[in-house]
Amino acid sequence: MNVLIIEDESLNAEIIVDFLQRYDPTILISGLLQSKEQTQIWVEENGPADVVFCDIELLDGNVFSLLKKI
């Protein structure tokens, strides 16, 4: 499973990664991003992930506006 994590707080991102790896060590964290801008570039270069875990409010705005766009 290809997982993308969008979280601007490092501790929260680490908690998600740790949980996923303990739940299923075969899960591939294919991206760990901190902003809408990084996410848009990542998706343009890599295509969609199977599962996305994301914070709603990032430092550069609300993630829903980006998700609608991509």
- Enter the CATH code of domain 2-69: 3.40.50.2300
Instruction: Tell me what pLDDT residue 40 has.
Output: 93
For residue 27, the 8-state DSSP code is -
Q: Which residues pair with 33 in a beta bridge?
A: 6
Mean pLDDT throughout 11-26?
Answer: 96
Beta strands in the chain (DSSP E): 2-6, 28-33, 51-54, 57-58, 61-62
Tell me the per-residue pLDDT of 26-69, one tens digit each, with 9 for 90 and over: 999 999 999 999 999 999 999 989 999 999 999 998 988 888 88
> How far apart (Å, rounded) are the C-alpha atoms in residues 22 and 61?
31
Distance of CA 19 to the CA centre of its chain: 14
